[in-house]
Amino acid sequence: MTLHNVIRLEDATEFLVYSALFLTLDCSWWWYPALILAPDVGMLGYVISPRVGAFTYNILHHKTVAWCLAAGGIIAGITMMPSALPLKMAGFIMLAHGSMDRMMGYGLKHSDSFHHTHLGWLKRSV
């Protein structure tokens, strides 16, 4: 098994874990399919420029940002704040989506091109 396949397997496992965590939240199941592709709205930044697009895409796909949202929701939930659920939902969706993207070979973007990621260059379809 190559290192590339091991990394994809790791991301597939993370995708399943974060998806399961989302589905344990006190919200209707349909929120999951409704939101799973929401982080891709960050691609709209590419309409302005590759630099802006990389920034907006990366913010919505960065696992540290997602963990901060999820942790904020968990902490807010402990203190019984009403804002806990949306924060946890956003965090777990971002984590699941980011893992799903990386499992398929997409990564965080460099500012020169949408196809240049931290995992390498995406293959262009003809």
pLDDT tens-digit profile of 76-106? 988 877 779 999 999 999 999 999 999 998 9
Number of domains observed in the structure of the chain: 1
The verdict on pTM exceeding 0.75 is: yes
Whole-angstrom distance, CA of residue 19 vs CA of residue 3: 24
Within the chain, which residues score under 70 in pLDDT?
124-126
Does residue 124 form part of some domain? no
Does residue 44 form part of some domain? yes
pLDDT score of 87 = 95
Does residue 122 form part of some domain? no
pLDDT score of 126 = 47
Sign of the Cα torsion 49, 54, 56, 57 reads positive
Q: Whole domain around residue 60: which residue ranges?
A: 3-116
